[in-house]
A and B are shown apart, each in its own frame.
Chain A
Amino acid sequence: MQKLLIKKLLRDMARSGITYIICILIVAIGLCGFSVLSICMKDLEGARDDFFTQTAFPDVFTEIRDAPLSVARNLEALPGVLRAEGRLTKTVCLASAGENAPQLKLFSVTEGGLAQPQLSCGQFPDAGSRQLIVGDGFFKAHNLAIGDELSLVIEGRSETFTICGSGISPENIYMVKSIVDLLPDYYNYDAAFINYQTMSSLCGQNNRANEFLLTLLPGVEFDTIKKNIEDVLEPYGSRVYGRADQFSVAILQMEIDQVGRMATSIPFVFLGVAAVILYISLLRLVEQQRVQAGTLMALGLNRHAVLLHYLSFGLLVGLVGGLLGGISGVWAAKPLFGLFRQFFSLPPFNAPIAWGNLLSGIIMATLFCGLVGLLVSRRLAQLMPAEALRPHAPKTARKTLLERLPGLANIFTVPGLMAIRALSRNPRRTILSVTGIACAYMISAFLMSMYTLMDVFIFDYIDKMQHQDITVYFSQPVPAAAALAAVHHPALEYAEGMLEFPVTLRGPAGKVDCGVQAIAQDAKLTLMFDTNKQPVRPQNEGIVISVLTAGILGVGPGDMIEAEVSWPQKRISALPVNGIIAQYMGNTVYMTHQAAARISDYRDVYTSVLLKGADEVREDLVNKLKQASQVELVENRLARTGKMREYMSLVVSMMAFMALIGMITGFAVIYTSSLISFEELKREISTMMMLGLPSKQCLQALNVSQWLLTIVAICPGIALTILSSNMMSSAIASDMFAIPDFVDPQALILAIALMFIAVWFSSQVMLRKIRKLAPVELLRERE
């Protein structure tokens, strides 16, 4: 019996092949997304953990100004600390001429020490030699080879090194100069590793360290030991943070978390749409096969067998879609993981085939679609055979609410009225069609809006906020007058000093480690705006914080927060929030120089100078500044944002692709709904054709309802888009990034246009079907 019912099932499905294929494909898309993302997440976690082990990655990082290397022994003596090491780090630039010379962050290393780079090629530098390991990204981007020479400007002197290897450490898997850079640019900025002896002698810091790295005994939590470490390092002004807060690790973890969140959200949107199409299709099938179900029961099949049979339509769609999606997901996960691996410069990781993910995905899709089948067929299976064998009582045909509106009925032709009445006759299907179209609309509009959001809230904001052409960073705080004198150029339009130092802010909802940027109250090169685009200026007492920071601290304008500064002396102060600015990236907060002086011991010093000047003076200035010993970095703002845009093009392409999938999904819902209406109204359309109505007029019996459904679906579609945007904002928010609750009106309009194109395309397909109808044969058939 089962064999025959399976045959029946397959043949029935083949008769409405396109509808089921659409369902299968949408399920497959959803499942592919689930498999790809969940496998990717697993592989990323595996690669990361593997990487940590292989590179002796520390549990705790500390940044200090300068301390004797021997402090490491004091740290090692702390209970819970397994090992402690000091090292030197310094950002230097290539000695090549030009405005935008690439930069390297040098890390001192000792063979067998902590935070070693994993070598992709070559060997470790010999002690005291002028050898260095460059980051893999830089190595590839500059097409370097082992044995090549590289000249770096260290302490104002050009020093030549021989490349002895290329590699990467977990600390450098996401190398950005600052949080506002968003994306790494390995051509211009990467890590390099030099033997400690070489680096300390070049920097004049023999037996000194500006960072300490610690590993903890198994089971020891960082938070329990942090205070002790801070106490040891207090004389040197320290910032102590755990592995999880290390920038690269945090970014990677954020990405892994986002991949995980996407794995459990996006696929379900597609499964939801598939469920709507499947529900509509199966509902129609069950209505059509009511007599067949009655016959099966009359033959003696029990209700469970009948239920299982109709449930199997859903199960099969889910199984095939799940298999297709799962297998393609497993297949596509490797390249996607490869992209992530490349993006994060992770070493190769041979993850086993994720059978668990594949199987769970298939089971999930099968059960999900099976549930749809169950919802549709359970009532049928509850009927007595005699009831199932009786034809449905004719559905009531009465004037719809729309027709009762004065004058509106006259707008529609008779076929148009038929379409409207068909909608009111099948309220469940109408609601489901509207839901499906609304979901498809949401997918398109949301993704297009996200694209605009990137542009508006990242690039536009940076363009509005930052007005300097060049930023000159000093290796340590420099007296204000000396800093401005160092960057002096007769053709320079404007120069503004800035002081940057770390601070820990505490509010009622939490605490956050931030970087303060102290600027002049009337600064012209750093402008700030609130969420209503109104200018915000820091006051001489208080602080301006970002939306992101305000959210973490749980404060608003005027509220008091606590600021803890560790260097040069530890100081804790209370200060008011002057304003909240629409900044969604990073933890930078802003103060005036006077306000900064109130909470720290920094007086009249700058750590960087922002410069504005004509193009022709820029190169001259850059070359001059690069030779200055106290200058650490010279950065061109436009070049940086240009690079960011270049990198973002990949993200934009992905979003465009997803929006296209959204449109196809919308078309699938509209097409399925039209197809079912066509099947239902085939006899009526045949009668109209027999009466001599042209095909295009007969088409109105179908497409008027589709246009109406789509127009009606757009309202909930917009609401869903806004809801998704809000959900995405809260889901994606982290200590480093936030996404504003923003929906681009243009995206909403464009998505409407896409839905209308889908309706038009679907109506063209239906027109072809109507033209192929043979009315005489159809009317001869028994209904």
Chain B
Amino acid sequence: MQTSVLKCEGLSRRYEGGGLGILALNGVTFTVGSGEFIVVLGPSGSGKSTLLNLLGGMDKPTEGRLWYGDLELTGLSPDMLSAYRRKVVGFIFQFFNLIPSLTAKENIELASSIVKDSLPVAEALALVGLPDRATHFPSQLSGGEQQRVSIARAIVKKPGLLLADEPTGALDSVNSVAIVKLLLDMRTRLGCPVIAITHNPGMAQVADRIFYMKDGCIERIENNPHPLPVDQMTW
């Protein structure tokens, strides 16, 4: 059994607004071991993104507890949560969320500059296969290239946890497969758990575990004892 990196107990998130309360996440409990590749599957509104936001310290649960290693995240101050995101979390977005006024290299530098022990930016770019696109602005890159930059920005900090919110959602199949491969490579290289949200069940074939979510709950967790190599994955 791998060491537990993330642990959550009865994690819930309720949104209040317009006189209506919406329970986006309802008492989720699980643990994540180091180096695990977890795919979260579920329909829209099932609470996938909410879960990822809580794991990434980008939102606060309304109920339940959450730990990263020995550090309990619930109850941390906003500045402590910032420090957690800065030092631990690498986040990959569906729509890349690159800063449009910074070049690819500068987007990565922005992340590397806020941590002490980061990868060299050139190395991060090389790892994602874009060494020659450093000076391009996001608008000058294709969707796949932008997502690679986004991954490079996430890994340059040498994160302890890599979270990907529908990383292939805006990409075609060829680029999607390439991105999944990159995520797996990074998992191997950094040894950190990777949690990826997706609509596409194809990605589950390469995962160690699959979380099926519905109506804010984890409906079931499926272990995948024999994950497929990426090149055998059907998309």
Contacts and interface: CB of A to CB of B under 8 A. Distances in A.
Interface string B7-42: 000000000010000000000000000000000000
B141 interface: no
Contacts of A1: 110, 113-114
A4 B102 contact: yes
Interface stretch (B66-74, B77-85, B221-229): B77-85
Given A8-B99, A11-B101, A297 B83 contact: no
B54 to A, nearest CB: 8
Contacts of A522: none
B62 interface: no
Given A299-B86, A302-B82, A386 B101 contact: no
B145 interface: no
B58 A297 contact: yes
Interface in A1-16: 1, 3-5, 7-8, 11-12, 15
Nearest to B90: A299
Contacts of B86: 299-302
B149 to A, nearest CB: 12
Interface string A378-412: 00000011110100010000000000000000000
A385 B101 contact: no
Contact of B111 (A294, A297, A299, A385): A299
Given A8-B101, A295-B93, A303 B78 contact: yes
Contacts of B59: 384-387
Contacts of A782: 95
Contact of A298 (B78, B91, B113): B91
A4 B113 contact: yes
Contacts of B97: 291-292, 294-295, 298, 389
A300 B82 contact: yes
Nearest to B97: A295
B48 to A, nearest CB: 13
A15 B137 CA distance: 14
Contacts of A298: 56, 58, 85, 89, 91, 93, 97
A138 to B, nearest CB: 65
Nearest to B53: A386
Given A4-B102, A8-B101, A292-B99, A299 B58 contact: no
Given A8-B99, A300-B89, A303-B78, A386 B58 contact: yes
Contact of A4 (B17, B91, B110, B157): B110
B87 interface: yes
Most buried by B among A3, A294, A299, A782: A299
B82 A297 contact: yes
A193 B99 CA distance: 76
B122 interface: no
B106 interface: yes
Nearest to A384: B59
B153 interface: yes
B60 interface: yes
Interface in A228-263: none
Contacts of B157: 300
Interface in B79-128: 79, 82-83, 85-87, 89, 91, 93, 95, 97, 99-102, 106, 109-111, 113-115
Contact of B109 (A4, A294, A387): A4
Interface in B125-154: 153
Contacts of B111: 299-300
Interface of B: 17, 50, 53, 56, 58-60, 78-79, 82-83, 85-87, 89, 91, 93, 95, 97, 99-102, 106, 109-111, 113-115, 153, 157
Interface of A: 1, 3-5, 7-8, 11-12, 15, 291-292, 294-303, 384-387, 389, 393, 782
8 contacts: A295-B93, A298-B58, A299-B85, A299-B153, A303-B78, A303-B82, A385-B56, A385-B59
Given A8-B99, A299-B110, A384-B78, 20 more contacts: A1-B113, A1-B114, A4-B109, A4-B113, A8-B102, A12-B101, A291-B97, A294-B58, A294-B97, A295-B97, A296-B99, A297-B58, A298-B85, A299-B85, A299-B86, A300-B83, A301-B82, A302-B83, A303-B82, A384-B58
